[in-house]
Amino acid sequence: MLNKRRNLVAGICLLILLLVSVTPALAGQYYINELLDGNPPHQVLKEGPVVRVIQPVVPKPVPSAREEKDEEVKKETPLRGKVALTFDDGPDTHNTSAILDILKAENVLATFFVVGEKVERYPAILKRIFNEGHLIANHSRTHADFSLLTNDEIVELELNPTSKAVESLTGYYPLIMRPPYGSLRQDSVIYLQEQSWRIVRWSLDTFDWDSTRNKPEQILSRIQSQHHNGAIILMHCNGPATVRVLPDVIKSLRDLGYEFVTVTQL
């Protein structure tokens, strides 16, 4: 009996080790995105941690004939509001250039959360983003998981070098940032806010980064079901799926009555 108990304890310990050995960055990415994808309605604050807002169920009163008619008219009237398209992980010469071509043709401004190493590698694309009027923001230098870094390391190794690289090319030092994978400890949130950094996550993930569910119809379905005024829409520069679906995303949101702005204009 004692040997059986020992074997059971050993098995449980082995299972725990296997679970915690999952790559932290990948686990963080899936955690925040599954949270957002599986539990609507939601709101992601522009500063601070993910916050879930669930409204209590309230019985609706039976509408009068006039109210029903007014409701029908309201449904036919396009929504009026603003949304921000955001693109992570650029710049690069292929996908970012194609995204910029589409945005220019559609007369849409967006926000690009850039990676410092790529800014250094593709300065001409970074300058094009800036010169065409888009907002440039900071997405770290190496795409590290910030939850594994000290607060000083986050600023000194990841944020400051990236913003300095952008400043050397444009004269603009971004103080808006998005942590890779949306991963950031609460103490880091407080620390960065005290250092004047503005933390921007997202409220609508297109999942263009996930090859198992980023077909155009899947992305458009998320737009149709999760769109809302003030939406911060997460997309990426590092895959062809974004380029393929972007014109339809813009058309779909325009048909819904939305205006495209940068995150600072929401």
Give the catalytic positions in this structure. 88, 236
Tokens (6 digits) for 235: 């997309």
Q: Following DSSP, what letter does each residue of 64-119 receive, concatenated?
A: PHHHHHHHHHHHHSPP-EEEEEEEEEE--SSHHHHHHHHHHHHT---EEEE-HHHH
End-to-end CA distance of the chain: give it in Å, rounded: 65
Residue pair 129/181 in contact (Cβ under 8 Å)? The answer is: no
Task: List beta partners, residue 236.
Answer: 88
d(CA 142, CA 154): 11
- Residue 102 makes CB contacts below 8 A (sequence gap 6+) with 108, 243, 246, 247, 250
Q: What dihedral do alpha carbons 154, 158, 162, 163 form, nearest 10°?
A: 10
CA dist 235 and 247 (Å) reads: 13
The answer to whether 206 and 217 are in contact (CB under 8 A) is no
- Work out the burial of residue 115: count CB atoms within 10 Å of its CB; fewer than 13 is exposed, 13-18 middle, 19 or more buried: buried
Question: How far is the C-alpha of 115 from the C-alpha of 180, rounded, in Å?
Answer: 10
